[in-house]
Copies of this chain bind each other. A is one copy, B any other.
Amino acid sequence: MTLTEKSKKTQDHVLKTTRSILMANGFHNTTINDIIKATGVKKGNLYYHFPSKEEIGLAVLEDAKEEFFTFLAQSLQGDSPCAKVANSCQTIIAAQKKQIFAGGCLFGNAALEMSDSNPRFAAVLQEVFARWVGEIDAQLSLAGPDCSLNTNLSPSLLAKAIVATIEGGIMMSRVSKDPADLEDCLAVIKAILGK
């Protein structure tokens, strides 16, 4: 393994391990020592890769963002635009159901914890939600009125409400500890999409 490969491996290990900690405990409630303890990476080495806790947090969000968009692209499967959106929501909700008891949605958590106090975090989160809405909007625009029960809702409004319903459903499932809340939200999204 070259030095660059080793460096990349350390960075990736820090990002993935810190992601789990941040999902469980939030940003403010996580210390650099928690990250050192969980990763086993020495303090000097950690600061060599990331100059501050803020930079680690941002890098975790950026890393999760890239992973989510890859996942999102793969989830848009189906023989029509409405089917693609319905399948994408179902795939995302299936993945989230596994995580309800392990921190829920990193982006949603960070949105409520960090978006008022840290504009750099807010910018990454805004990109995540805007691009997610944009991908759904693009599919619904191809579908025309088929996907909106003839309500004359614009695709962009409907796309935004779909993302909001998923994020709100994750929140409700975390409170009730019952994945059914999230499944019920999926059922409503599918009904609106005619699927």
Contact = CB atoms under 8 A, between A and B. Distances in A.
A135 to B, nearest CB: 15
Given A109-B112, A149-B149, A184-B157, A175 B28 contact: no
A35 interface: no
Interface stretch (A39-47, A65-73, A80-88, A160-168): A160-168
Contact of A191 (B109, B151, B168): B151
Contacts of A2: none
Copies in the complex: 2
Interface residues of A, number: 49
A56 interface: no
A19 interface: no
A52 interface: no
Given A161-B188, A165-B168, 9 more contacts: A24-B116, A28-B29, A129-B175, A130-B176, A149-B151, A160-B172, A161-B165, A165-B165, A167-B167
Interface of A: 24, 26, 28-29, 101, 103-104, 108-109, 111-113, 115-116, 122, 125-126, 129-130, 149, 151-153, 156-158, 160-161, 163-169, 171-172, 174-177, 181, 184-185, 187-189, 191-192
